[in-house]
């Protein structure tokens, strides 16, 4: 009982703690990671910074971090509901969530349902062409190399993941794809492709792989089914309009931002 009280006091403290008191573990392009309130946890802070083309293009997009925090919470909670293990514990505030600390596998796992982006460029397939089946690709996570595409041979030879890990990663990626495709289809959005990251957690001698990092319009391609309008980070990458409007539209359709339709007070005569 006392332990539980101490734990909630630590978490409450963390929620209101000024940034200066936190120990920063890592700062990436879109997120900052802080030490969590108890062992094995991390606070993930979503920044408003947007980058593209390996940070050659940069901007600060008002509200992006708040939207991605909410959307990642929504998708990770949905995955938990269907039994797909992931790092999410709970949202702390507008920009922060408490997640399980894990050792990130140095791979970007990309699942594609329709050709777009680098696949279209590499293979000369028109953007929007439906693929014969979902295709999973792996990129080695290294910004200085531009996250190059690698094969399972590279992954095994360099020891980034074992064969058992690769079987588990493939199965996680395809389950996330089925879940995300269905959720998006229900609100009139096509899931063209997405990227996830995978983390290792250790329970004693036993290790498990879980979905980590974030799932948000920063890491997916989302097209309106009727109009083809892009509702993801390509809006920023390709200068197609206002990124926050696009992400808000995704959040609105999913019912993630109920306060977005709060009306102004009206005078009653």
- Binding residues for ligand 5GP, rule: CB under 6 A, are 108, 110, 116-119, 147, 193-195, 218-221, 233
- Nearer to ligand 5GP among residue 97 and residue 219 (C-beta): 219
- Nearer to ligand 5GP among residue 96 and residue 108 (C-beta): 108
What is the distance in angstroms between the CA of the first residue and the CA of the last residue of the chain?
Answer: 53
Which one-letter DSSP state was computed for residue 264? P
- Nearer to ligand 5GP among residue 11 and residue 231 (C-beta): 231
150 bridge partner residues: 138
Shortest approach of ligand 5GP to residue 141 CB, angstroms? 8
**Residue 58 in contact with residue 50, Cβ under 8 Å?**
yes
- Nearer to ligand 5GP among residue 145 and residue 186 (C-beta): 145
- Nearer to ligand 5GP among residue 165 and residue 234 (C-beta): 234
**Residue 160 in contact with residue 104, Cβ under 8 Å?**
no
Shortest approach of ligand 5GP to residue 217 CB, angstroms? 8
Shortest approach of ligand 5GP to residue 220 CB, angstroms? 5
Ordered DSSP codes for 191-229: EEEEEEEEEEEEETTEEEEEEES--STTSEEEEETTT--
> Which SS3 state, helix, strand or coil, does residue 110 take?
strand
Shortest approach of ligand 5GP to residue 179 CB, angstroms? 16
Shortest approach of ligand 5GP to residue 232 CB, angstroms? 7
Cα 208 from Cα 74, distance rounded (Å): 22
Phi, psi of 255 (to 5 degrees): 75, 25
């Amino acid at each position: 009982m006392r332990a539980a009280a101490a734990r909630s006091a630590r978490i409450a403290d963390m929620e209101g703690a000024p940034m200066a008191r936190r120990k920063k573990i890592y700062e990436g392009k879109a997120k900052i990671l802080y030490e969590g309130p108890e062992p094995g946890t991390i606070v993930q802070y979503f920044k408003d910074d947007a980058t593209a083309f390996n940070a050659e293009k940069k901007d600060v997009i008002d509200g992006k971090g708040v939207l991605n925090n909410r959307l990642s919470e929504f998708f990770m909670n949905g995955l938990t509901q269907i039994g797909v293990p992931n790092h999410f514990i709970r949202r702390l505030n507008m920009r922060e969530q408490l997640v399980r600390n894990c050792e990130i596998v140095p791979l970007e796992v990309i699942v594609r349902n329709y050709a777009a982006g680098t696949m279209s460029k590499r293979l000369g397939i028109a953007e929007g062409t439906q693929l014969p089946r979902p295709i999973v690709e792996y990129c080695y996570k290294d910004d200085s190399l531009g996250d190059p595409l690698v094969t399972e041979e590279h992954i095994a030879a360099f020891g980034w993941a074992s064969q058992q890990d690769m079987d588990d990663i493939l199965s996680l990626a395809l389950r996330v794809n089925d879940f995300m495709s269905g959720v998006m289809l229900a609100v009139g959005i096509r899931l063209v492709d997405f990227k996830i990251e995978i983390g290792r957690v250790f329970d004693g001698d036993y290790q498990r792989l879980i979905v980590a990092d974030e799932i948000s319009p920063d890491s997916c391609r989302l097209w309106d089914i009727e109009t083809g309008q892009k509702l993801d980070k390509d809006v920023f990458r390709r200068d197609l309009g206002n990124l926050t409007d696009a992400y808000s539209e995704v959040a609105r359709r999913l019912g993630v931002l109920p306060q977005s339709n709060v009306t102004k007070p009206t005078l009653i005569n």
